[in-house]
């Protein structure tokens, strides 16, 4: 596919802390305060917004933001960042209500993947792919790719073990238990195979990847989506012979790679070869470069390829040199500077707190945003585009139809129901439009539905 639909679903961790440092409200109570305004918007804690996105409370009181359908990597990264801004505003509104009710506590919202109790929550990527390509046939290529790409897309984590604390590249690596499965929370696979295309099922499938970390860094986020899309295009066109890099044990491999930030540790393939994550990614990159010499790539694909090559070269020279591009490297340097300054061990609670504060979405106190404000990390998205995406859908996909319908129905104070494919007016006629094409930003049926509001 030369044009693809992308989506990112990000779950967030929440907590409330009193002035003495004790937890004041449970995560469930914090989420209820945050979502009061959401319930007012749509009489539910599960709503679609005017920018085409979905906002809801997931299992375990985790706010989740699903971007609208985007047909460019830039747009999906921008809309993922817009989700942070939307939730940041909900958090600030909830804090005002807490003070009005005499509750003394600060609310925190973290875009990460694990909490202090060892629970994990996800960042899921969605890629539209053509139906006549069976996703399960891709697993020999995709699983090694997703297992090894953490070297540039990992968010970093201090892992507490029986042998002490250790710094890991990926937050999700310790919580993945299968390669492919139709479950998400129980077995936590790398790729989820549940067949929910949210589109014309005769034409499209949705590749649902749940192995990734939530990225604060826009560069990492862009690269993980862009490189995966390039791999998919090569698989779909069937013109590239991909080498057999099937892993002997993908689950063991993902953990071993995560626990070695030299990126040199070798993992065993099913054919007996031993390769490092850097070796595996380099083989994929080499195939992509050769593919680019025979095919016309879009500007975004060329950008992804250049970023991919830049990161692998940096990782080969010195993995800890990519502090501007990679979350796990930026966080590592923050923690190490603090540890050395105060002579702390990696298992010190203050280090665990810093680890968490890196992911605070409040731009006035989150450590990542302090780095960004100081121009110490790479930017991809403009602040103007992020602000625009808070209220406006992408203009080239089905999300435009959904966003426009929601906006007009609200203006007319009309009762409605929407999901990814349906737009429905809850009137006597129960008029409903089924939008099966995620690539279509115009539809006469939707225009008529809006005209009749």
Q: pLDDT tens, 92-106?
A: 999 999 999 988 889
| CA pair distance 80, 89, nearest whole angstrom | 15
| CA pair distance 136, 28, nearest whole angstrom | 37
Instruction: Encode pLDDT of 304-359 as tens digits.
Output: 999 999 999 999 999 999 999 999 999 999 999 999 999 999 999 999 999 999 99
Task: Map tokens 């899921």 to a residue.
Answer: 124
The helix (run of H) or strand (run of E) holding residue 90 is helix 73-100
CA proximity to 328, closest of 174, 155, 189, 168: 155
Q: How is residue 356 written in tokens?
A: 């968490």
Residues 6+ away with beta carbon under 8 Å from 404: 393, 446, 450
DSSP 3-state of 106: strand
Give the pTM. 0.95
Q: Any idea which residues carry the catalytic annotation?
A: 58
For strand 204-209 and strand 189-192, is the pairing parallel, antiparallel, or unpaired? antiparallel
CA proximity to 218, closest of 121, 145, 363, 324: 324
SS (H, E, C) 131-186: CCCCHHHHHHHHHHHHHHCHHHHCCCEEEEECCEEEEECCCCHHHCCEEEECCCCC
Q: Are the beta carbons of 99 and 90 closer than 8 angstroms?
A: no
Helix count and strand count (H, E) for the chain: 14, 17
pLDDT confidence of residue 4: 98
Q: Is 406 exposed, middle or buried (0-12, 13-18, 19+ CB in 10 A)?
A: buried
Alpha helices per DSSP H over 274-429: 277-294, 299-317, 327-342, 349-357, 367-373, 383-391, 399-411
Q: Over its length of 453 residues, how does the chain's per-residue pLDDT go in tens digits?
A: 889 999 999 999 999 988 776 667 888 899 889 998 888 877 788 999 999 999 998 876 899 999 999 999 999 999 999 999 999 999 999 999 999 998 888 999 999 999 877 778 889 999 999 886 665 568 889 999 999 999 999 999 999 888 899 999 999 999 887 767 565 555 578 888 777 889 999 999 999 999 999 999 999 999 999 999 999 999 998 878 888 899 999 999 999 999 999 999 999 999 999 999 999 999 999 999 999 999 999 999 999 999 999 999 999 999 999 999 999 999 999 999 999 999 999 999 999 999 999 999 999 999 999 999 999 999 999 999 999 999 999 999 999 999 999 999 999 999 999 999 999 999 888 899 999 999 999 999 999 999 988
For strand 6-11 and strand 13-17, is the pairing parallel, antiparallel, or unpaired? unpaired
pLDDT confidence of residue 183: 56
């Amino acid at each position: 596919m030369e044009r693809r639909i992308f989506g990112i679903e990000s779950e967030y961790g929440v907590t409330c802390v009193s002035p003495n440092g004790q937890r004041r409200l449970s995560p469930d109570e914090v989420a209820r305060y945050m979502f009061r305004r959401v319930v007012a918007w749509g009489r539910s804690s599960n709503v679609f917004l005017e920018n085409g996105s979905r906002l809801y409370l997931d299992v375990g009181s985790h706010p989740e933001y699903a971007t609208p359908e985007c047909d460019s990597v830039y747009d999906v990264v921008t809309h993922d960042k817009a989700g942070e801004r939307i939730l940041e505003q909900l958090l600030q509104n909830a804090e005002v209500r807490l003070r009005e009710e005499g509750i003394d506590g600060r609310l925190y919202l973290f875009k990460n993947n694990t909490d202090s109790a060892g629970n994990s929550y996800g960042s899921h990527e969605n890629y539209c792919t053509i139906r006549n390509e069976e996703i399960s046939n891709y697993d020999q290529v995709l699983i090694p790719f997703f297992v090894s790409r953490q070297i540039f897309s990992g968010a970093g984590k201090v892992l507490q073990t029986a042998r002490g604390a250790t710094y890991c590249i990926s937050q999700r690596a310790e919580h993945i238990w299968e390669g492919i499965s139709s479950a998400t929370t129980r077995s936590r696979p790398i790729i989820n195979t549940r067949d929910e295309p949210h589109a014309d099922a005769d034409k499209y499938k949705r590749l649902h990847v749940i192995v990734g970390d939530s990225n604060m860094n826009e560069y990492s986020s862009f690269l993980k989506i862009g490189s995966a899309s390039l791999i998919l295009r090569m698989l779909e066109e069937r013109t590239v012979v991909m080498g057999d890099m099937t892993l002997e044990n993908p689950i063991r491999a993902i953990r071993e790679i995560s626990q070695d930030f030299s990126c040199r540790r070798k993992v065993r393939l099913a054919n007996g070869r031993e390769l490092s994550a850097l070796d595996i990614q380099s083989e994929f990159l080499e195939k992509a470069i050769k593919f680019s010499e025979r095919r016309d790539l879009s500007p975004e694909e060329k950008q992804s390829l250049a970023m991919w090559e830049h990161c692998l070269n940096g990782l080969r020279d010195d993995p800890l040199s990519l502090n501007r591009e990679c979350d796990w490297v930026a966080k590592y340097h923050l923690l190490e500077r603090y540890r050395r300054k105060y002579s702390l061990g990696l298992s010190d609670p203050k280090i665990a707190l810093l680890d968490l504060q890196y992911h605070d979405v409040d731009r006035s106190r989150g450590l990542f945003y302090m780095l960004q404000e100081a121009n110490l990390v790479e930017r991809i998205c403009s602040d103007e585009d992020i602000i625009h995406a808070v209220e406006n859908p992408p203009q080239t996909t089905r999300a435009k139809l959904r966003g426009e319908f929601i906006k007009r129905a609200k203006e007319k104070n009309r009762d409605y129901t929407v999901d990814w494919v349906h737009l429905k007016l809850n009137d006597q006629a129960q008029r409903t439009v089924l939008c099966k094409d995620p690539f279509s930003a115009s539809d006469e049926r939707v225009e008529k539905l809006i005209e009749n509001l």
